[in-house]
Amino acid sequence: MRRAIPAVGLILALTVGVGACTPAPDNDVPSRTARPRSTLNALPPPSAGPFTTTGRGPQVPADGAWFGAYVDAPQRTGDRLDAIGAFEQAIGRELAIAHSFHPWREDFPSTYDYELAHRGKLLLLSWAGTDTRSLLTGVYDDEIRRRAEAVLAFRAPILLRYRWEMDRPNLQTVVHSPEDFVAAWKHVRKIFTDVGATNAGFVWCPHADGFVDGRAQPYYPGDDQVDWICADVYPDEQMASFTQMMAPVMEFARQHPRPLIIGEFGVEKEGEGQRAAWFDEMRQVLDTQPQIKAVVYFSGKTDKKPFYDTTLDGEPSAAEAFRQLASSAYVLTAPFG
């Protein structure tokens, strides 16, 4: 999805320390695609997978950043797995992270999620959320508990991105205020903790734009509630660089001792050479920012409004620059920790 980048604050220095219409809440899967209701599968849990659980999700890599992607594809599990394989072949590396999206009332982990984990992928699972004030009445507690129990039974660590981009203006009729969101987040997390589903690392993920004007920060639930800080990064037609877009995010992140994940990033076709230059700059910046521990691309396109195309098809220079990004020494396709 094409994203507008606020004009304010884009030239901030990139520093880091240690450490449309309002969608219906049950259908707010990535703004770019819709998913049918799925059912839990009976595959054996991927407990012997390569990623280690710490009690707050997966063990964070000591050096470098995991590289992952969401790859849009038809709904059938086989087609979606084939799309992941084709994407890996195109970039010349296997993905460490595979990203999937689930509406509020969809069961997860799904058959597709299980298959990804059995193929050695760490799941980044985005769960849409629902009306915060309704959630706080307890009406959804049994459903939340079932999801938590399913994640516990999954046994492998996951990254759980609950109600991503909560700072988007078109979500405010369901998110309501930052205070409502924080209370809902704490409510959901408490149920997961009570169930014992500590293999889920909770990922707090506004849009990068929201850090520029201060819109995102009030939604932060606190260091005791958040396992990973996150941002979604989509340059607009002016092609602000990765450095420019991430500057306010990194300024916030350096004040919080949490690993950072780029939950989504995507660059549309704006002119020959522009995307290649954007990917090249991102590659050069990543290894100077040790707090960034994962980056996840969004590859998809649509011929319906809002139009977008973040695939690498038909643009050799961008595809080559992306392959170099995916093959840089800093990014990891194996679970080093």
Per-residue pLDDT tens for 50-103? 788 888 999 999 999 999 999 999 888 899 999 999 999 999 999 999 999 999
Which CATH code for domain 47-332?
3.20.20.80
CB–CB of 67/333 below 8 Å?
yes
CB–CB of 260/291 below 8 Å?
yes
All residues at 6 or more sequence positions from 74 whose CB lies less than 8 Å from its CB, including other chains: 80
Place of tokens 């507008």: 4
Predicted pLDDT of residue 75: 81
Q: How long is the chain?
A: 337
Place of tokens 């981009």: 165
- Is residue 47 predicted with pLDDT exceeding 70? no
pLDDT confidence of 334, banded at 50, 70, 90? low
> Which residues sit opposite 125 in a β-bridge?
100, 160
- What residue spans define the domains of the chain? 47-332
CB–CB of 104/129 below 8 Å?
yes
Predicted pLDDT of residue 17: 37
Mean of per-residue pLDDT scores for the chain: 86
Name the more confident of 210 and 4: 210
Average pLDDT over residues 196-220: 97
Residue 25 in 3-state DSSP? helix
The pair of structure tokens assigned to 134 is 């309704």
Helices 274-286/316-326 angle, 10° precision:
10
Sign of CA dihedral 303, 104, 298, 269: positive
CB–CB of 129/166 below 8 Å?
yes
- Is residue 115 predicted with pLDDT exceeding 50? yes
